[in-house]
Amino acid sequence: MAEPALTGADLILGYDGRTVVDGARIDLRAGRVTALIGPNGSGKSTLLRSLARLHAPRSGSITLGNDLDALSLHPREFARRVTLLTQSRPTPGGVRVRDVVAYGRHPYRGRFGSGDPDGPAVVRRALELTGVAGMAERPVDELSGGELQRVWLATCLAQDTGVVLLDEPTTFLDLRYQIETLDIIRDLADQHAVALGVVLHDLNQAAAVADHVVLLHSGVVRATGTPAEVFESDLLSAVYGLRIEVDIDDRGRVRTHPQGRHTQRPA
């Protein structure tokens, strides 16, 4: 098994005296996609933000590799190792797509943007991987929500880190680009040995893309393991508050079927 790339242990996280995540552990490993799933308000995004050092834990540890305290690193050094795609970002007016993606190179630049010889090639690769190379000269404030989401993903890839954290990366995307984003995630793990932590609401997307799943409910990790291990009908039904049936085919592929009043599966 690959060595841990980023680990959060015994994390207690909260806002204004209210505990949101209680005693969570998560291990991100090189070449593995870890999906964080659970209902709204379960603490998924808060946990991801804590791993990115955007939400300070009340207690617990965040470790890079086996023993490097992530919370003590200089911000520039941390940003060369870990990047986060948040759910929303402000859209800069009148700035070209290429220049926005180049923002991802900030940890490698000196004063006045100097000292990054690898930057142009890495930016080109990020534009191509995310399918936005053809719009590189367009102002970002002219893009659709789905196009802009891919630009922000390209910005994360331009940061060229060993750990990539993605908070609902398929939001605002149509079906084609949802699938292409999941393909990029798998390529980063399989071809570039990146450790990925991904918050997803769509259980079937999580089952399709993830090697490892962390299921949260009311701030507590209820289960961890492969999709086949975690996607158990009674457990998911209890966590989500409705009946969820689960199928696993002969190739080990998992698919969930939520059972609403008007969406019952035929007997």
- 25-41 per-position pLDDT tens digit: 999 999 999 999 999 99
- Judge whether 259 lies within some domain: no
Q: Mark whether 118 and 215 lie in a shared domain.
A: no
CATH classification at residue 234: 3.40.50.300
Q: CA 88 → CA 58, 128, 226, distances in Å? A: 25, 22, 29
- Same structural domain, 53 and 74: yes
Tens digits of residue pLDDT in 99-147: 999 999 999 987 766 778 899 999 999 999 898 999 999 999 999 888 8
Give the model confidence (pLDDT) of 177-205 as tens digits.
899 899 999 999 999 999 999 999 999 99
Same structural domain for residues 96 and 117? yes
Whole-model pTM above 0.85?
A: yes
Do 14 and 27 share a domain, yes or no?
yes
Same domain, 138 and 235: no
Same-domain status, 165 and 234: yes
Residue 265 lies in a domain: no
The residue range of the domain holding 17 is: 1-81+161-240
Give the number of domains in the chain: 2
Q: Same structural domain for residues 38 and 6?
A: yes
